[in-house]
Homo-oligomer: A and B are copies of this chain.
């Protein structure tokens, strides 16, 4: 997207990159070697688009490092974040659902590294590699579950509860222990948070300010630390 620089296939990708990741964990060293030899590795700057909604799904990806937001843009230009994907998961797997174009846009939240393969190899992977299909469908199932939860939240909860829930989920997925609490492990702006919870950055900011005064959270620019998760849980359940 950014530059059409030739995807540099790094000198030698080590098998250890994949061996512990669910979709590949049941495979033999030799198989992983084959898979890696077919892969391209690439680094993405923060905010880079890995792929865009509607594009033909030419490749599928394994996020090795970083975080990715999956975003949809409405006709009127508003953004809605559908999902956050942490390192170690596949993305752009439209093919698994019989689609031939990407249903959403993938934007890196941090500097990220991803492997990718041409979509045409998908069927081979499914057929040849034991556990690959099962494991991907599991993550897919998990994502569907998350989407479902979001629908229910959007439909029934107040903004305050939704924001609290979103923070808790982010912390659970990507929390990093620091002194005084748990911090969300990637840069996230009020704007991002608002796109994740279907509100405005103003309201998100007000809520965080309020919580900060109560000692529930602390936040610097682009960084949020949860100090009192339990209190947030209470908030997230409407008192």
Alpha-carbon separation in the docked complex, A98 to B66 (Å): 26
- The reply on A75 being an interface residue by CB < 8 A is yes
Contacts of A74 in B (CB 8 A): 152, 156
Q: Mark A113-150, 1 if CB is under 8 A from B, else 0.
A: 00000000000000000000011011011001101101
Asked if A10 is at the interface (CB within 8 A of a chain B CB), the reply is no
Task: Enumerate chain B residues within 8 angstroms of A82, measured Cβ to Cβ.
Answer: 148, 151-152
Interface residues of A in 153-203 (CB under 8 A from B): 154-156, 198
A47 at the B interface (CB under 8 A) = no
Residues 89-116 of A at the B interface (beta carbon under 8 Å): 94, 96-99, 103-104
Q: How far is the CA of A21 from the CA of B94 in the complex (A)?
A: 23
Contact A150-B152, Cβ < 8 Å, known A98-B137, A137-B98, A145-B103: no
Contact: A97 with B141, CB < 8 Å? yes
B156 touches A78 (CB 8 A): yes
Q: Which residues of B contact A76 (CB under 8 A)?
A: 156, 238
Known interface pairs A80-B156, A82-B151; A137-B96 also in contact (CB < 8 Å): yes
Question: At the interface, yes or no: A72 with Cβ under 8 Å from chain B?
Answer: yes
Tell me whether A38 is interfacial, beta carbon within 8 Å: no
Bound CA span A84–B140, Å: 20
How far is B98's CA from A136's CA once the two chains are assembled, in angstroms? 9
List residues of chain A with CB under 8 Å of any chain B CB.
72, 74-76, 78, 80, 82, 94, 96-99, 103-104, 134-135, 137-138, 140-141, 144-145, 147-148, 150-152, 154-156, 198, 237-238
